[in-house]
Structure formats: C-alpha cells, structure tokens
Structure 1
Amino acid sequence: MNDTPSEEVALVDAVVVGAGFAGLYMLHRLRQQGLTATVLERGSGVGGTWFWNRYPGARCDVESLEYSYKFDEALQSEWAWSERYATQPEILRYIEHVVERFDLRRNIRFDSNVISADYSARSRRWNITIEGGKRYEARYFIAATGCLSQPNEPKYPGQESFGGDIHYTSRWPQQGVDFTGKRVAVIGTGSSGIQSIPLIAAQAAHLTVFQRTPNFSVPACNRPLQPDEVAKTKIEYGRFREHNLEQPFAFNLFVNPRNLADASPAEREREFERRWSAFGGLQFLGAFQDVFTDPTANRAAQEFIRGKIRSIVQDPRKAELLMPSDHAVGCKRLCSDSGYFETYNRPNVDLVDIRAEPIESFVQNGVRVAGRVVEVDAIVYATGFDAMTGALSRIRIQGREGRRLTDEWAQGAQTYLGLMSAGFPNFFMVTGPGSPSVLTNMVMAIEDHVDWISNCIAFLDAEGIHTIETPGERQNEWMRDVSAIAEATQFSGCNSWYYGSNIPGKPRVFTIYVGFADYRKKIGQIAARQYDSFTLERETAVA
C-alpha cells in the first residue's frame, strides 16, 4: 500500500498518533517489519512533550546518558550529551537527529490533529479522521500520545479582560518570551514552575508566585559531563542498559540497602546530606531502601527537606509557605531544581498562598486576591497537565458496538497491561494507563512497549490473525492489581496528578503500575505464551 497524500482515504497498515519518542520509534519498528505506517502529529514539528514545553529552565530529571534510545548501538555511541541533565533544546536536537538519521520525516504528517477514530467490525479496520476532514484507514491504531501532553488550562473569571500577555509552560512560544522590565505572575509550583521561576525572576522587574500546594524539591546537582565518564559509560553501554531494565524505575537509582531504622541519627543526617548536595535529583529517594514503603522513614526524609528550606529561605513566612506538610516525599514526582528556594531571597520576588487567599479574578492590570489587586504585565500558567488520559480523551475513539473510550473510562481509565482496552480491537497504547509509564525513565518504558507491540503485530501477521482484543475480565483483574500494588507504597495517601487530583471532576484513580522490572517480566511472559490472555480472531474479514 502506498502512503501518499490524497483527497481520498489513505490506506495504511498502521496509523500512529504522536511524533515524540514513542511515535518515532513505533514508526521505525513498523517500517522495519515491512508495514506501511503514517504518524499523525498535531504540532508543526517532532518531539512531543519536548516540542511544546520550551519554557525557561525546561530540562529532564533523568540523566541524559540514560534518557535516550538504546535500540541502535551506533546512535547511542555517537551522540554526545553535554550535561548530566539535558535541556529541552538539546533533547529536541537529539530527537530531530534521530528523525533525519532514520529518514522518518517522510511518513509523518504535521499539523494533523486527530479528532476521531472509529472501528469497523465488518472490515476489521480503524477509520481515523483529522481536523479538516482528511481520513485514514488502518488495520492498527496506535496511540503514542504521551502521558503529559494535554495541558491543564484553568480559567479564572475576568481572564479575557486582562490587558497583558498570558503564557502556558505547556505550550511555550517557539520564539521565546522576553520578560525584561515586566511584572510577572507565575501560577503553579509544580515541576514546570519550579524549573522556570528562577530564570523568570532573574529577568523580570518583579515576580509574584501564586502557590496552591508547595512541593518537595531537591537540587539537581547538574553539571557538564566529563569526557572520561561518558567514555566509561559508552564502553559498557549494553551492560549499563540491561542493568537499568532490571530496576524498579528503569533508571540507575542508587539505593542504599539499609533501612532508616538501622542507621544512627548521625548516619541518617549524613546520608540525606550526601543525597542532597552530591547526588541530587531523584537519587535523593534512594537514601534508604524503605523511604517509599515505611512512613517513619519517609517522614525523616520530609523533615530533612523542610530543614533545608528553613535554612535557605531567609524570610520565615515564605519558608513556612514553601514547606510541604500534607504529602509524603515521592508520592508526587520529586522535583529537581537549580536555585529554586534561593530565588525567594531575591528582593523582586513575592509569594502568595492561594489556599489562604484564592484568586478571585483577573482584572485589566493584574490578579485580584483577597480584595486586593496584584498588578502584573504578564501571567504564566505553570499548571501542568490532564495526565495519563487527557490526550486520549480529547479524541472521539469508538470501538465495538459504538462503545466510546470516554464512556468506558468515565470512572477511571481501564486497560489490560496499559497496552489495550476491552472493546477496542487492534488499538494499542504506548505507555498507557495501567503501565509503569511516568514512574520510569520514559524512554526505556517507551522502547519496551514499542518492541512488545511490534512483536505482537509480527506474530499476528505470521499466524494469519486478524484481530487482537483484551477480555473485560482480564482488564478488571489487572486494574485491581495496579491499585493494590500502589496501596503498599507512599503513593496511596497523596492527592496528585498521578490520581488526576489536579483536574476538577476527574475520578480519583491511580493508573500507574509500580515496578518496571516486575511489569516487564509479566508482559514478556504473556508474549512468550503467544498472547494467550488476549482474544485472537482468525476468521477471514468480510469484504
């Protein structure tokens, strides 16, 4: 079949939605198998989350030597990362290099916003329509839409009356924003807020941060990569990658094998300090092996970070507001920063607690809180995403017997293995709800899922199987397991975007499988049994 632009329906073996890490590797694998495939991307370029999130300070919290593809030995050996934690521009350059290196661009359709996907039981094919009416027909429909790709954009009364500029960290202008001489408001202190606030404060005449919930953050301890450490890693890259695949979060987390209770007070302080000042970032979570599972150990980690905030932030009122008190360390993704708490010592930075003083409205010259107006020239929303399900929910996906995905997921996402959903044959999700996804090094999780899907499709084709579908009872059992595993960790007592708590009205459901290595073993066993836990149909399709 020829994948060429046409006014008629384009017939391909597979349609992939999204041109980020997942969609690009999915395209590469499908083409390797001799299948025709088209990637539909709503943006004007590749990169997925790294195309849209261009805000000041945007960078990855997984080390660059790990946050990269492993499928091609020459690619991982030749690419040179400059920093321990890569910035958004460097990651985007890497992705663009991959596209050119493997000639992927010719099968990507940019500015193609998918609005619907309908399954035909008669033809056993998916009919996909993009904005503007262009249609595609495919045997396989694959969502590589990402877990953090649908922005959460709250609206305040009077927003249309504000006379200045409004920006969103989740869709930052490609040309950048100059805040020189301006009074700026940032709403939100999650990861994007914590990363962008120090840089905005350094440029703006004045910055007011509007905070609802303080978050735990530790120094990233970022630095330039040294040639000798890069060379050492690359010599043993294969072994290094295999080791990571066996880790709970698919990256090289150095976990202290001791429990907190086995350490003296001085040893505890010393280990936490080492994790804060030398290791940095997510490595803080490995200070003791029971930080994630034992409330006492976690409270000790919390208090250490609060003590650091008290020692860094000179204004006691600001320090108190910046100290989280209602959740455990790690139950929300631990933030990594570069001078975040120090920023509140600047004379041009104010902090407003919008739990105590909620935003009432926007007015022409600023933001009204508690009956007063905070005058600003520009507003930045750092309010995150409708995570896990938001990107799929915006597409009208209709499976067997007219079943809508949004209806099936009305009480929370339901999948089997995070790969398929009952009633939607030949519809695969890369790092979908119910898989480890955002609790991992995402590139490793993506590659693992893409390999599984590709191998599954190859098996179906070799065996003359027309459709694969997950039984409802398998799906229900799987989601119960996902929830039960989470209940044994610190994730269970937390209101976070992991649960959808940041989206008003969204069901509070934990849809992330905790434990990448265990998960990988399970889906590998299912593949080895020739997908016997799925329903496979071999009947010839009706013409």
Structure 2
Amino acid sequence: MSNETDVIVIGAGFAGLYAVHRAASAGLSVTALEAAPDVGGTWYWNRYPGARCDVESVDYSYSFDDALQGSWTWSERFAAQPEILAYLGHVADRFELRRHYRFGVDVVAAAFTQADGRWQVRTATGETFTAQFLLCATGCLSALNRPNIPGVDDFAGEVYFTAAWPREDPELRGKRVGLIGTGSSGIQVAPILAGQAEQLVVFQRSANYTIPMPNRPWSPTEQVQIQEEYPERRRASAYASAGTPHGTYHKNAVDADPQERLDALWKRWREGGVLFAKTFPDQSSNLAANDIAREFAEERIRDIVTDPVVAADLIPDDHPIGTKRICTDAGYYATFNRDNVRLVNLRREPIEAITADAVRTTEASYPCDVLVFATGFDAMTGALNRIDPTGPRGERLHDIWADGPVTFLGLMVPGLPNLFTISGPGAPSVLANMVLHAEVQVDWVMDLVLTARRRGVREIEPRRDAAQSWTAAVATAAAKTLFPKAASSWYLGANIEGKKRVFMPYTGGFGTYRRHCDDVAREDYAGLVLTTR
C-alpha cells in the first residue's frame, strides 16, 4: 500500500467503511487509517456488557446494496454490540475493504500543503500519508472523556471505561463496584454489573430519562417479511425526519384529548426506545406538549422504583424530556430495587476525591474494588479537534472552531480545503439514523470529489460566508426547539470542561437536511470555491 493516494479515510466504522468502498469502487486509490486493530469504529471499542443500539437493527444497516441487505439476517429487534461488530466485519469481507486499511494507526496531525495541493497526515509513530482528499469519519462518539477527579490515579483497584472495555470481560463476582456516570452506557451496563457484583454503587451527577427496550428475537416469519418489505422501508426512511420509517402521532399533543394522548404515550412506551421522544409532532418544540410526555414517563419511573426517594433522584429536573438523547435500557430502574445496589446523588453530595480503595464524597466514603467510568465522550468535535488539521494559510481547526464549530452543511470547514467531515457538527448526525446519514454524506462527498477530478479541480473549499450562513441556520433551527434548554447536554459540549457551549447538531430533520445537500449539488455546488490552479 502506497503512502501517497488519491484519498485518505480516517475511521473504520459505518461511515469510514462506506467511504472506502465508494472511493475504491470509483477507481480512486485510497488509504484508510484506523486506531483499532480491526473494523468497527465505536462498535469495536464500546463492547461493555449490555451495549446495544437504540435504533432497530433492520434500519441500522446499510441500504446501498440490495445483495448485501439480503445476505445478512438480524437475529433480534435491537442488535447488541457483538452482532453489529460481526455485521461490519461481514461488510468488510464482502467488499474486501481491509486491504485498504492500516490498523493500529493513531492519527495525531494533518496539514494541507498548498504547493502540491495535498494533505499530509501524520501518525503517532511519525509515519506520514499523503492524499489530495481527506475524509474524516472519526465519529461523533469516539474521543474518550477521562474525568479529572482528584486522586483518580491513586485508586489501587481495577479501573475500566465503558468506551474502551477490555476484549475479555473482567471477573466482578464478589467485588464492590463503583459506577461513575449515568448516560447511555452507564444505564445499559448497570443492570448487568448489579447482577455480577457483591455491591454496586451508582454515582449519578445528572439523571437521564430512559425508556425500557422490549427487545426480542425476530421470528423466521418476520425475517422473511423484513426482506420483502425492505424496499418500502428504505423508501419511507430516505427523507424522513430521523432517517427511519417511524413517524409521530397524527395530532399535536396539545390538540389531542387526554385519552388520545394517554393511548399514544402508552403505545410508544411499549414500543420502547428513543422514539418515545417523537410521540407527538410538537413534543420537542412546545413545552406544554413536552410536559405531557415528561409527566407520563415520570409516573412510569415511580411505578417501577419502590423507594420514592430513589425514584425522585432518578427523575431529571434540569431538562425537558428528549432534549438530551433519551436512553434505552433493560431493567435499569428496577436495578435500584435490589438490596446490593445504592444510588449516590452527586448533586447532593459531590465527589471530593478518589482514594486507594474508595470514592469519597462530601457525606461519606464508599469502598470499591472496581471503578467503572461511564463518562462518555468529547462528542461531535473531540476526535477531529485532537488531530487539529492545519490549512494552507496556517489556520488550525482548533482556532477556526474556538467559538463553536463552523461548517458548510456539516461537511466542510472554511480554511481547510479538500477536507470532509462525516457525521460531525452542523449535520443531523446523532439525531438521525447514523447509517443512512453516513451513506448520504459519503455519497455527496464522493460525487463532489469525482466532479472535481473530471474538471481538473485541485482544491475545494467552502466560502467563509457560506459556512457562516449554514452555521447560523443550524443555530436558528435549534432555537425553534427545546433542545438548548438541556444545559448539561453533550449536544452542547457541556460535559467537557472549558468547551464552548454551542448546540452542534442540525435539528431541522434529516429529510430537510438531505434536501439542502441535494440543492447545493444541483446548483453546481453553490457556496464552494473550486480552484483549478
């Protein structure tokens, strides 16, 4: 594999694999770089017990190839990490994608040289790769967040991160486990830890809403039906608000009568998953409508958790429901009815320090043999900021994004020609079906790259005013919703100390976003400067 190619792709998740496939299929030479020892992206690293996708498996899969679609049978409604990882391995094998990859390669820097119009990408070992185009499929949730807690390095027991779980599950029987963090991964792993450990203490800073996931195997009959219905299912998803075939109730919550609302909410609760956040069309934009869904969910929490004080601690009081991503679980709330489980509300008793054998708060010391950090990621921008690409005029991404990410369609950054960001800020990304989202963005990028090659274009860069205009549109769309009211959300970067608080995803809907991308391409890539010199 040459160190100089037409395209460099960073990442081997859904977006990275598809980008490699599209580039290679178009006859471009491609080098793909991945820090992990194999394909999978976030699904390689996030292998903690209970890790599972909150989008139905039949939708959370590639749609670009009918034969591929027919070659894989999902075993259950919501696929677990091992099955998703196996699927990505199947895709890599089917299209011989691994031959383009250098695995175990950590990218630490990238710089565009105007003299030759190419990106030079440097790895942690000092090796350099060069290409005209750089596609960063670095992931929204891939840059591990290590909390800066006093004494964390003094802990003498075992330490694990849900975002970098060991390949062999540790033995936790008979041990006292402290779980720090109650986002999606903490909520998924807690019931399993509780069933293994002698004692589990859950340290919660921010309560999150989570909806029980009624997962089940697909029956043979359903699997046949899924394949038969795939064309219509994909058609319904193509320009849908979240990139899935599921819609909302046909009335706004504030316009429906109480029994209608109750029936709709029960239906969505029993279906489970993140779709509860989209029960009604006005749920994410009208606080009165949101309150209806929120109060219903809170009643369900109080129904499940037997101790009313614990139930109250598990109910969020700082954001409308759905404005932080609703989590999905398999028995999370019931876990706190177990005798060996304790919830510590860090709003009431903050952590002072971690000692050699305990977590010490302002009120007590909790002995631990094992610490599990479910502290999430430097989301949306973290992975790319750590590479900190430098443009031809010396502009660094870190500086360009100092006041929040500025992008054109969430795909390009002014000052950084020939660089493309997939599933990053300024796009729907985490608010949509990430697989379909990746396909749409990669297709748009590759069509642009091939157009540029045909025209002899050397550099492609968004005009600064066009990027500022799109970034303003992202902010305007968010302001029409309740999302910015979730002050502690990682959508805003609030989980990372010192990070600028800016709402990063595009909330106008996946279908609307896709139409914007279609329009730009149809208008001969209006907003971009294509330079042939």
Give the TM-score taking structure 1 as reference length: 0.96
Residue in structure 1 matched with residue 5 of structure 2 by the alignment: 12
Residue in structure 2 matched with residue 440 of structure 1 by the alignment: 432
Residue in structure 1 matched with residue 139 of structure 2 by the alignment: 146
Alignment of 1:193-232 (within 5 A): 193-232=186-225
Q: Percent identity at matched positions? A: 45
Counterpart residue identity of residue 311, structure 1 = D
Residue 371 of structure 1: how far off its partner (Å)? 4.7
Residue in structure 1 matched with residue 501 of structure 2 by the alignment: 508
Alignment of 1:280-319 (within 5 A): 280-319=272-311
1:436-475 CA distance string (max 9 Å, x none): 1110000000000110111111111111111110010001
Q: Secondary structure at the match of 1:400?
A: coil
- Cα distance in 1 for partners of 2:281, 2:531 equals 46
Residue in structure 2 matched with residue 388 of structure 1 by the alignment: 380
- Give yes or no for contact 1:253–1:286 (8 Å, CA) kept in 2: no
- Cα distance in 1 for partners of 2:467, 2:261 equals 42
Q: Which of the residues 349, 358, 364 maps onto 2:350?
A: 358
Counterpart residue identity of residue 357, structure 1 = E
Q: Which of the residues 121, 125, 134 maps onto 2:127?
A: 134
Q: Secondary structure at the match of 1:119?
A: strand
Are residues 1:410 and 2:402 paired?
Answer: yes
- Cα distance in 1 for partners of 2:370, 2:484 equals 37
Query: Structure 2: any 5+ residue segments left out of the alignment?
Result: none
- Cα distance in 1 for partners of 2:486, 2:254 equals 24
Residue in structure 2 matched with residue 466 of structure 1 by the alignment: 458
- Cα distance in 2 for partners of 1:411, 1:284 equals 33
Q: Secondary structure at the match of 1:44?
A: coil
- Cα distance in 2 for partners of 1:274, 1:425 equals 48
1:163-212 CA distance string (max 9 Å, x none): 10111000000112221111000011110011000000011110000001
Identify which range, 249-258 or 420-429, moves more after superposition. 249-258
1:403-457 CA distance string (max 9 Å, x none): 1111111111111101100011101111221011110000000000110111111
Q: Which of the residues 519, 524, 530 maps onto 1:530?
A: 524
Q: Secondary structure at the match of 1:401?
A: coil
- Cα distance in 2 for partners of 1:249, 1:26 equals 21
Q: Which of the residues 334, 359, 364 maps onto 1:367?
A: 359
Residue in structure 2 matched with residue 521 of structure 1 by the alignment: 515
- Cα distance in 1 for partners of 2:452, 2:264 equals 51
User: Could you say if the C-alpha distance between residues 449 and 113 of structure 1 is closer, same or farther in structure 2, counting changes exceeding 3 Å?
Assistant: same
Are residues 1:265 and 2:258 paired?
Answer: yes
Q: Secondary structure at the match of 1:398?
A: coil
- Give yes or no for contact 1:114–1:128 (8 Å, CA) kept in 2: yes
- Cα distance in 2 for partners of 1:206, 1:511 equals 38
- Give yes or no for contact 2:412–2:462 (8 Å, CA) kept in 1: yes
Counterpart residue identity of residue 349, structure 1 = V
Query: Structure 1: any 5+ residue segments left out of the alignment?
Result: 5-9
Residue 254 of structure 1: how far off its partner (Å)? 3.1
- Cα distance in 2 for partners of 1:262, 1:130 equals 57
Residue in structure 2 matched with residue 498 of structure 1 by the alignment: 491
- Give yes or no for contact 1:69–1:444 (8 Å, CA) kept in 2: yes
Q: Which of the residues 460, 471, 482 maps onto 2:474?
A: 482
Q: Secondary structure at the match of 2:263?
A: helix
- Give yes or no for contact 2:234–2:245 (8 Å, CA) kept in 1: no
Q: Secondary structure at the match of 2:504?
A: coil
1:221-252 CA distance string (max 9 Å, x none): 11111222222221131221121012111112
Identify which range, 234-243 or 468-477, moves more after superposition. 234-243
Counting matched residue pairs gives 531
Counterpart residue identity of residue 518, structure 1 = T
- Give yes or no for contact 2:253–2:289 (8 Å, CA) kept in 1: yes
Alignment of 1:230-245 (within 5 A): 230-245=223-238
- Give yes or no for contact 1:469–1:534 (8 Å, CA) kept in 2: yes
- Cα distance in 2 for partners of 1:75, 1:363 equals 51
Q: Secondary structure at the match of 1:434?
A: coil
- Cα distance in 2 for partners of 1:341, 1:371 equals 24
- Cα distance in 1 for partners of 2:106, 2:279 equals 44
Residue in structure 1 matched with residue 317 of structure 2 by the alignment: 325
Residue 155 of structure 1: how far off its partner (Å)? 2.3
Residue 275 of structure 1: how far off its partner (Å)? 1.5
Q: Secondary structure at the match of 1:109?
A: strand
1:466-486 CA distance string (max 9 Å, x none): 111001000111101000001
Counterpart residue identity of residue 336, structure 2 = Y
- Cα distance in 1 for partners of 2:25, 2:18 equals 11
Give the TM-score taking structure 2 as reference length: 0.98
- Cα distance in 1 for partners of 2:58, 2:349 equals 43
- Give yes or no for contact 1:180–1:203 (8 Å, CA) kept in 2: yes
- Cα distance in 1 for partners of 2:244, 2:203 equals 33
- Cα distance in 2 for partners of 1:142, 1:404 equals 17
Counterpart residue identity of residue 528, structure 1 = R
1:106-158 CA distance string (max 9 Å, x none): 11001111111111111101111111111111100110001110011102111
Residue in structure 2 matched with residue 7 of structure 1 by the alignment: none
1:486-536 CA distance string (max 9 Å, x none): 111121211200000111110000121111101101111111222132001
Are residues 1:398 and 2:390 paired?
Answer: yes
